[in-house]
Amino acid sequence: MDTTVFKDIINKKTEMINDILERFLPEEEGYFEIISRPVNYSVRAGGKRLRPLLLLESYLLCGGSEEKTDYIAPFLAGIEYIHTYSLVHDDLPAMDNDMLRRGKPTTHAKFGEDFGILAGDGLLNLAYETMLDAAGKDNTGCAVRAAAVIAKKAGIYGMVGGQSLDVHLTGKAIQPDELDFIFKLKTGALIEAVFAAGAILAGADEETVKVCERMGSHVGMAFQIKDDLLDITGTEEEIGKPVNSDEKNNKTTYVTLFGQEKAEADVYAHTKKALELLEKTGDNKFLCSLIKYMAERKS
């Protein structure tokens, strides 16, 4: 797909997702304002909105209707709320103690550690309130299944499990199999979830759901390896946070374990595998360009 056309489409889709995110955010009214402000700040701080974009495109790839965006809107919002909560908690003093994200003060830097914790808790619950409300209105069973997949991949057997090993090994040398576990779960699980959930919501058969999940797994690996590369090749302006933070924090990364050359080659290899699976599943030229863009991104 031509770069100008791609940029135009991604901007429009991101704008649509930002509108959807607003739809389910809490009102800043009365005493609720105390929690709604840090919650809304965290979501409105920006971000690429990749997970809702990927969920939407997986849904369209598997035959979901472009007209039924209202049907998947609660899932597009839910997945971004979960992602946002994970970043807010990851930035806390007890974890990475980061003061800057997306070029702005992190939630705890602006509202205090207590409200960093509470905003994350609020966002995680808001995600399930939003998705389960939609599931209650859907009699196909697809929405409940999609929410269940997201719940599992965001939890102990997914993102939380990966983050736990990462935290446990902080300051220690990490072995390749441990790094693989961390990547697959901390970053990969949520991306697998969006590919699988998109397919489920489109009513795809079991085999297609599995292929989409595998596609997500390759996209997730490429994405995380690229994230490690950006920490050494990007600028603070581009990535919206300090560079070389992994080295400063003595963190083992894909680059420190395997070198820059292999890291770059593996981003390419995982992206290629994802694109092969995409081609087998159906026709979605925008998703194809989005996966390539994620591998070549500068932020």
Sites of contact with ligand GRG (CB under 6 A)? 47-48, 50, 86-87, 89-90, 102, 159-160, 163, 186-187, 224, 227
Measured from the CB atom, the residue of 87 and 134 that comes closer to ligand GRG is 87
Which residue number, 36 or 42, has a Cβ lying nearer to ligand GRG? 42
Q: Please, what's the b/e burial string for 256-287 (b: 16 or more CB within 10 A of its CB; e: otherwise)?
A: bebeeeebbebbeebbebbbebbeebbebebb
- Please state the closest distance from residue 47 (CB atom) to ligand GRG, in A: 3
Q: Which stretches does DSSP call E strand in the chain?
A: 100-101, 104-105
Which is closer to ligand GRG, CB of 71 or CB of 223? 223
Local structure of residue 185 (DSSP, 8 states): I
Residue 86 or 284: the one with the smaller Cβ distance to ligand GRG is: 86
**Minimal distance, residue 223 CB to ligand GRG, in Å:** 6
Residue with smaller CB distance to ligand GRG, 48 or 214 = 48
* Residue number, 209 or 229, with CB nearest to ligand GRG: 229
Q: How far apart are CA 132 and CA 57, in angstroms?
A: 21
Looking at beta carbons, which residue is closest to ligand GRG? 47
> Residue 116 Cβ, how far from ligand GRG at the closest point, in Å?
11
The CA distance from 40 to 111, in Å, is 12
Rounded distance, CA 174 to CA 193, Å? 26
For Cα atoms 129, 132, 136, give the angle at the middle one, nearest 5 degrees.
Answer: 130
CB of 211 to ligand GRG, least distance (A): 23
Q: How far is the CB of 101 from ligand GRG (least distance, A)?
A: 7
Token duo for residue 126: 């808001």
Please, which residue, 253 or 284, has the CB nearer to ligand GRG? 253
Q: Return the sign of the alpha-carbon dihedral for residues 14, 16, 19, 25.
A: negative
| CB 295 to ligand GRG: min, Å | 13
Nearer to ligand GRG, 131 or 239 (CB): 239
CB atoms within 10 A of CB 14: 17
Number of other residues whose CB lies within 10 A of the CB of residue 81:
28
Cβ-in-10-Å burial (0-12, 13-18, 19+) of 237 comes to exposed
Which tokens hold the place of 154? Answer: 């965001």
Smallest distance from the beta carbon of 205 to ligand GRG, in angstroms?
29
For residue 70, give Cα distances in angstroms to 19, 66, 233.
12, 10, 39
188: which DSSP letter?
Answer: I
Q: Closest separation between CB of residue 206 and ligand GRG, Å?
A: 28
